[in-house]
């Protein structure tokens, strides 16, 4: 079976890979990155926790200035937050910029769209305090 046939089998309908010679495997990978929808990559880069139902991210991560680690994925060459992309795939639209992807499950690496709500930064912060995920800093005496 040729390279093209294998790829077509993997990525399904419509994806036409032009072989320009060179390393078949590398070409195939590059082509896959282009053609496989974001959703499929999200699924492939997460594992389901049977207890919490969280889709725990195993791909690249970014750390925000508070030291929390968040799932990162490249879409069209741009680094995006994977849980926001996951939300987008399910809701069919971009999460509004002013809203953060709040994790109802408190697992910042979770990308399960059922666990992610659009929340305003304010309400997300309040919830973090309420759940004890975040603590007010008391001065060291």
Among 54, 73, 95, 102, binds Zn ion (CB under 5 A): 54
Choose between 54 and 82: whose C-beta lies nearer to Zn ion: 54
Closest separation in Å from C-beta 112 to Zn ion: 5
* φ/ψ of residue 42, rounded to 5: -60, -45
To which H or E segment does residue 61 belong?
A: strand 61-63
Q: Is residue 112 involved in binding Zn ion (CB under 5 A)? A: yes
User: How far separated are the first and last CA of the chain, in Å rounded?
Assistant: 71
Q: Which of 31, 42, 110, 119 binds Zn ion (CB under 5 A)?
A: 110
Site membership for Zn ion, residue 111 (CB under 5 A): no
What is d(CA 56, CA 87) in angstroms, rounded to the nearest whole number? 15
Residue with smaller CB distance to Zn ion, 31 or 42: 42
Q: Report the length, in residues, of the chain.
A: 141
Q: Which of 32, 89, 105, 128 binds Zn ion (CB under 5 A)?
A: 105
Q: How far, rounded to the nearest angstrom, does the alpha carbon of residue 125 sit from its chain's CA centroid?
A: 21
* Interface residues toward Zn ion, by CB under 5 A: 54, 105, 107, 110, 112, 115
């Amino acid at each position: 079976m040729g390279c093209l046939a294998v790829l077509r089998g993997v990525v399904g309908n419509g994806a036409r890979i032009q072989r320009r010679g060179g390393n078949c495997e590398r070409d195939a990978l590059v082509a896959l990155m282009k053609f496989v929808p974001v959703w499929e990559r999200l699924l492939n880069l997460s594992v389901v926790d049977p207890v919490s139902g969280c889709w725990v991210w195993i791909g690249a991560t970014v750390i925000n200035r508070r030291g929390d680690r968040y799932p990162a994925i490249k879409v069209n060459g741009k680094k995006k937050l994977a849980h926001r992309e996951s939300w987008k795939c399910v809701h069919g639209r971009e999460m509004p910029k002013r809203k953060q992807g709040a994790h109802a499950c408190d697992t910042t690496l979770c990308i399960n769209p059922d666990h992610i709500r659009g929340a305003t930064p304010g309400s997300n912060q309040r919830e973090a305090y309420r759940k004890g995920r975040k603590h007010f800093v008391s001065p060291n005496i």
